[in-house]
C-alpha cells in the first residue's frame, strides 16, 4: 500500500470510537436478560426481532452522531436552546433524568449479580464495587480525555463479546433453525412482550443522547483562514467525519448485533424449555449445568464487563442531559455517586434483581419517544443541519422507525402493567 494511502487509512481508523462507546448501551444487562429469556422460552422464534432492532439502531445512532458532528452540539444542548419555556425544559429534563437513572439501575444490578455469580459477593457490596470501578473509568474521561475513555470502554466491549459469544462456538445452533427465525412472526402474548423487551433494551434513550455528545467531544471545529476558506475546509472536514462515522456506527452495530444474537442463539440451542432461565442467576446456573463451568464463567465475566461499561456510559449520558437541558455542569464523578444511590437502595432492601431489571425497562419505554422524535425532527431541519439535512428517504425511515418503536414500547407497557 502506498504511503499516502496507508496514512489515510490510519487517520480513518483514528476517527473511529464514539459509536463503539455508545454501542455499549446495546450490550447492557437488560439486553442480556431479554435475549437469554427469548431464546430459552421461544427458541429461534425472535431472531428476526434482534436483527430488525439492530438495523433500526444503525439509523438512529448515525443520526445522533451526525447531529453532534455537524452542529458541534449534543441533542440535549440543542433541545435546551429550543425549549424556551423554563418549566417545559425542566419537565423534559426530569423525564430524561428518570430514564437515565433507570438505565443506571439495570447496569449496576447486572454488575452486582455478576460479582455474586463469580465470587459469591453479596449483591449490595457488589453494587458498591460496580459503582466504584465505574467511577475509576469515568475518572479516565475527566483526567485523560474522551479518547482514553474510548479505549477503556472498547476494551470492556471486547471482554463482553468474548464472554457472551464463546458458548455459541462450543455448542453451536442449528443453521436451518436460525434461518427460519428470520421470518417475522409471534407465538402468543408472551412472545410479543419479549419482542418489545428486546427492542426496549436495544433502542435506549441514553444512547441517543450520549452519541451526539461523544461525537461533539471528539470532533470540534478546527477551521481557520478567510470565511471562504473556512467554509471549504469545514465542508470537507464534515464530509470526511460523516464517512468515518458511518463506518464507526456500522462496526459498532455489527459487534452489538452479533453479541445480542449470540446470546439468543446460545439460549435457543442449549436452554430451550429449561426452567428458571428468566433470570440472570437462573441462566448462569442452566449454562453451568448444560455446558459446564467454563462457559458459565465466560458468561458471568461478560455480564460483569457489561455492567461496568454500560453504567460508565450511562453516567456520562446523564451528565450531558443535565448540562444540556438545565445548563448545569457537575463533575462526572459527583454525578456517578448521586445516581448510584437508588441502585444501592434497591439492592440493600432485597428487591429481586430480575424484577428490578424488568421495571427499569418499563421506565425506559416511557423515554423512547422523547429522545427519538426530536432527533428525527432536528436532523430533518435545514436550519439545524443546513446542507447536511436528512435526505427524504432517511427522514421517512426515521419516522417509520419512531412510530413502530413507540407502538411496541406502548405494547410493552400495557402488557407489563396489566400482567398479560
pLDDT in tens, 330-340: 777 777 777 78
CA distance 167 to 296: 8
In CATH, the architecture of 3-418 is Up-down Bundle (1.20)
Query: At residue 230, does pLDDT exceed 60?
Result: no
pLDDT-derived band at 412, boundaries 50, 70, 90 = low
Q: Where are the domains of the chain?
A: 3-418
Q: Which residue has the higher pLDDT, 412 or 183?
A: 183
pLDDT at 11: 52
User: Which pLDDT tens digit goes with each residue over 166-183?
Assistant: 989 888 999 999 999 999
Nearest to 241 by CA among 361, 393, 70: 70
Q: Which residue has the higher pLDDT, 327 or 415?
A: 327
Q: Which residue has the higher pLDDT, 156 or 357?
A: 156
pLDDT-derived band at 346, boundaries 50, 70, 90 = confident
Query: At residue 201, does pLDDT exceed 80?
Result: no
Rg (C-alpha) for the chain, rounded Å, is 21
Per-residue pLDDT averaged across 217-244, rounded? 68
Q: Which residue has the higher pLDDT, 216 or 359?
A: 216
284 Cβ contact partners less than 8 Å away, ≥ 6 residues apart: 117, 296, 299, 300
User: Which pLDDT tens digit goes with each residue over 3-57?
Assistant: 444 444 445 556 677 888 888 888 888 888 888 888 988 999 999 999 998 999 9
Other Cβ atoms less than 10 A from the Cβ of 16: the count is 18
* Beta carbons of 272 and 134 less than 8 angstroms apart: no
pLDDT at 10: 44
**Centroid of chain to Cα 77:** 20
pLDDT at 212: 92
CA distance 407 to 374: 17
Mean model confidence pLDDT for the chain: 85
* Beta carbons of 93 and 370 less than 8 angstroms apart: no
pTM (2 decimals)?
Answer: 0.88
User: Which pLDDT tens digit goes with each residue over 361-375?
Assistant: 667 777 888 999 999
Query: At residue 356, does pLDDT exceed 60?
Result: yes
Per-residue pLDDT averaged across 291-319, rounded? 90
pLDDT at 229: 42
Backbone angles phi, psi at 223, to 5 degrees: -85, 140
Amino acid at each position: 500500500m502506498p504511503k499516502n494511502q496507508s496514512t489515510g487509512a490510519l487517520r480513518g481508523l483514528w476517527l473511529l470510537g464514539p459509536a463503539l462507546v455508545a454501542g455499549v448501551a446495546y450490550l447492557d444487562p437488560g439486553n442480556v436478560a431479554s435475549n437469554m429469556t427469548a431464546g430459552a422460552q421461544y427458541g429461534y422464534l425472535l431472531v428476526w426481532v434482534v436483527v430488525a432492532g439492530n438495523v433500526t439502531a444503525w439509523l438512529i445512532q448515525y443520526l445522533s452522531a451526525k447531529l453532534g458532528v455537524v452542529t458541534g452540539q449534543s441533542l440535549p444542548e440543542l433541545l435546551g436552546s429550543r425549549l424556551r419555556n423554563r418549566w417545559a425544559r425542566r419537565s423534559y429534563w426530569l423525564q430524561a433524568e428518570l430514564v437515565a437513572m433507570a438505565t443506571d439501575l439495570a447496569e449496576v444490578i447486572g454488575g452486582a449479580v455478576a460479582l455474586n455469580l463469580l465470587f459469591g459477593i453479596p449483591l449490595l457490596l457488589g453494587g458498591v464495587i460496580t459503582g466504584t470501578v465505574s467511577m475509576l473509568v469515568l475518572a479516565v474521561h475527566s483526567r485523560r480525555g474522551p479518547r482514553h475513555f474510548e479505549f477503556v470502554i472498547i476494551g470492556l466491549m471486547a471482554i463482553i463479546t468474548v464472554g457472551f459469544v464463546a458458548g455459541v462456538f462450543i455448542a453451536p445452533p442449528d443453521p436451518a433453525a436460525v434461518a427460519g427465525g428470520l421470518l417475522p412472526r409471534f407465538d402468543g402474548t408472551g412472545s410479543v412482550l419479549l419482542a418489545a423487551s428486546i427492542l426496549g433494551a436495544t433502542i435506549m434513550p441514553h444512547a441517543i443522547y450520549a452519541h451526539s455528545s461523544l461525537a461533539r467531544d471528539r470532533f470540534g471545529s478546527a477551521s481557520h483562514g478567510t470565511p471562504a476558506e473556512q467554509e471549504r475546509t469545514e465542508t470537507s472536514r464534515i464530509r470526511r467525519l460523516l464517512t468515518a462515522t458511518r463506518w464507526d456506527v456500522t462496526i459498532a452495530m455489527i459487534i452489538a448485533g452479533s453479541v445480542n444474537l449470540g446470546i439468543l442463539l446460545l439460549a435457543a440451542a442449549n436452554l430451550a424449555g429449561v426452567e428458571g432461565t428468566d433470570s440472570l442467576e437462573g441462566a448462569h446456573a442452566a449454562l453451568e449445568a448444560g455446558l459446564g463451568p467454563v462457559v458459565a464463567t465466560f458468561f458471568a465475566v461478560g455480564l460483569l464487563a457489561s455492567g461496568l461499561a454500560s453504567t460508565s456510559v450511562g453516567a456520562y449520558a446523564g451528565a450531558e442531559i443535565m448540562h444540556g437541558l438545565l445548563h448545569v455542569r457537575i463533575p462526572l464523578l459527583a454525578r456517578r455517586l448521586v445516581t448510584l444511590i437508588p441502585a444501592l437502595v434497591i439492592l440493600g432492601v432485597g428487591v429481586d434483581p430480575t424484577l428490578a431489571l424488568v421495571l427499569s425497562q418499563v421506565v425506559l419505554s416511557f423515554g423512547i419517544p422523547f429522545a427519538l422524535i426530536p432527533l428525527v425532527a432536528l436532523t430533518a431541519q435545514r436550519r439545524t443541519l443546513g446542507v447536511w439535512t436528512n435526505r427524504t428517504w432517511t427522514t421517512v425511515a426515521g419516522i417509520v422507525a419512531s412510530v413502530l418503536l413507540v407502538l411496541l414500547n406502548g405494547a410493552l407497557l400495557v402488557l407489563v402493567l396489566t400482567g398479560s
